[in-house]
Amino acid sequence: MSGKIILLIGGSGSGKSSLIKRLRTEYAHVRFIPSVTTRPKRPTEIDGASYHFVDVKTFQQLIQEDGFIEYAHVHRAWYGTPRQAYVDVLEQDQIVIKDIDP
């Protein structure tokens, strides 16, 4: 694997999503992989674009299968970074951008 991961760390409203959108527009080899979450989908969200929405049972199964690079329980919901999606992109020598709240 020779791809790269870029982490953007900042609080809510700090511009992480805007920067990701701009980079993806300007650079075809920059990819954003949505996190997996158990929180309810908001009306404006699209499954697979903002997040991959799953139930708690599915999320727990992914934990057991080592399906996450990392995961956490935050604000009464689970969030995780899907391992295989990152491996697939990195094996294609592309760049993955990950946004993280501090």
Q: Does residue 1 carry a pLDDT above 80?
A: no
Backbone angles phi, psi at 23, to 5 degrees: -65, -40
Which string of DSSP letters, residue by residue, matches 16-75? HHHHHHHHHHH-TTEEE-PEEE-SPPPTT--BTTTEEE--HHHHHHHHHTT-EEEEEEET
CATH of 4-100, one of 3.90.550.50, 3.40.50.2300, 3.30.70.890, 3.40.50.300: 3.40.50.300
Q: Check residue 12 and give its pLDDT.
A: 83
What are the pLDDT digits (tens) for 74-85?
989 999 999 999
CB 6 within 8 A of CB 97: yes
Distance between CA 39 and CA 10 in Å, rounded? Answer: 21
What are the residue ranges spanned by the domains of the chain? 4-100
What are the pLDDT digits (tens) for 6-59?
999 998 889 998 999 999 999 988 999 999 999 999 999 999 998 999 999 999
Q: What is the pTM of this model?
A: 0.86
Q: Check residue 10 and give its pLDDT.
A: 92
